A = this chain, B = another copy of it.
């Protein structure tokens, strides 16, 4: 296994010194934003983690290795490449064996983080049960990963293009804790609120770390969703976002857009109809998650 992992100097030193480490995914770099904004944002997010007492480890598949922490050159190359495959659990063996470039999704980043001994991972939003999944069975592999891989995932909830209610049901069946960080309500990515309650509300990084430690000490496999609402200043109005999604869903139906094509279509519509504010919001919430995630990583490092 070790032969597939390649650590950056910064992460290697952090591991040797026993410092808290925060994993970051790379799909947001390759598929979430245009170059060079993606690289710049990645660096800013990493710096926020450093400023909050932890060490960032951006994860990507490069040249037959799972990179745990990217150098400046690697990040630049990766952010500018156009042949990067979105990598979930099922793709990891293939991409490593063929030495192709891979951007890790939530599922693959969790796997890599666990392999590297990293207990906390910061992302924007998790995948979930797609709208209409009662018929399409389109359910993100992220949810299965949360039930089996020992990494806490700080996010801003599940995107409202998903079916949030069904996502919560799936996580309940699978025994995954869904924590509202300072909130009783599950946030929905662009919005601070949704109509759904979280399973558990916790108000401090220490409480989150203590819950995770108890879970893992018991030997209960899997992670948890730590749902951290987008900052107020950047949050969108729920009725505005939901209106866009409802409209886009009708449009998708009218145009015969189905299955896997629906999600990128919805995301595109949200971007278009928010006049680019969705990207700003996305960046703001990831940075906010980086702050909270670093704090939790510090606590997880102390209660080991």
- A113 contacts the other chain (Cβ, under 8 Å)? no
User: How far is the CB of A3 from the nearest CB of chain B, in Å?
Assistant: 7
User: CA separation between A173 and B216, bound complex, in Å?
Assistant: 24
Asked, given contacts A1-B217, A91-B199, A137-B169, whether A97 binds B174 with beta carbons under 8 Å apart, the answer is: no
A238 in contact (CB, < 8 A): no
> Which A160-214 residues have a C-beta within 8 angstroms of B?
165-166, 169-178, 199-200, 207, 210-214
Contact A90 B176 (CB under 8 A): yes
**Minimal Cβ-Cβ distance residue in B for A133:** B137
**A111 CB within 8 Å of chain B:** yes
Cα distance A93–B200 in the bound complex, in angstroms: 11
Contact residues of A between 131 and 179, Cβ < 8 Å to B: 134-141, 143-145, 147, 165-166, 169-178
Contact with B along A85-129 (1 / 0, CB 8 A): 000111111101110000000010001000100000000000001
B residues less than 8 Å from A277 (CB atoms): none
Complex copy number for this chain: 3
Which of these, B111, B144, B207, contacts A173 with CB under 8 Å? B144
User: Whole-angstrom distance between the alpha carbons of A139 and B129 in the complex?
Assistant: 14
Closest-by-CB residue of B relative to A93 is B215
CB < 8 Å: which of B93, B107, B218 contacts A211?
B93
Cβ of A129: which chain B residues have Cβ within 8 Å of it? Answer: 137
Is A219 an interface residue, CB under 8 A from the partner? yes
Shortest Cβ distance from residue A259 to the other chain B in the assembled complex, whole angstroms: 8
Residues on B with beta carbons closer than 8 Å to the beta carbon of A143: 173
In angstroms, Cα B215 to Cα A111, docked, is 12
- Closest B residue, CB atoms, query A135: B134
Contacts of A175 in B (CB 8 A): 88-90, 107, 141, 144-145
How would residues 206 to 237 of chain A score, 1 for a CB under 8 Å from any chain B CB and 0 otherwise? 01001111111111100000000000000000
- Say yes or no for A240: interface residue by CB 8 A criterion: no
Q: How far is the CA of A211 from the CA of B175 in the complex (A)?
A: 28
Contact with B along A236-276 (1 / 0, CB 8 A): 00000000000000000000000100000000000000000
Bound-complex Cα distance A217 to B139 (A): 27
A177–B91 contact, CB under 8 A?
yes
Q: In the complex, what's the smallest C-beta–C-beta distance from A300 to chain B, in angstroms?
A: 13
CB atoms of A90 and B172 under 8 A apart = yes
A200 contact set on B, CB distance < 8 A: 91, 94
CA distance A166 to B147 in the complex (A): 21
A137-B170, A175-B107 are contacts. A213–B92 as well, Cβ < 8 Å?
no
Q: Looking across the interface, which residue of chain B has its beta carbon closest to that of A166?
A: B137
Measured in the bound complex, the distance between the Cα atoms of B115 and A129 in whole Å is 32
Provide 5 A-B residue pairs closer than 8 Å at the C-beta atoms, listed in order of the A residue: A88-B175, A92-B214, A97-B207, A97-B214, A144-B147
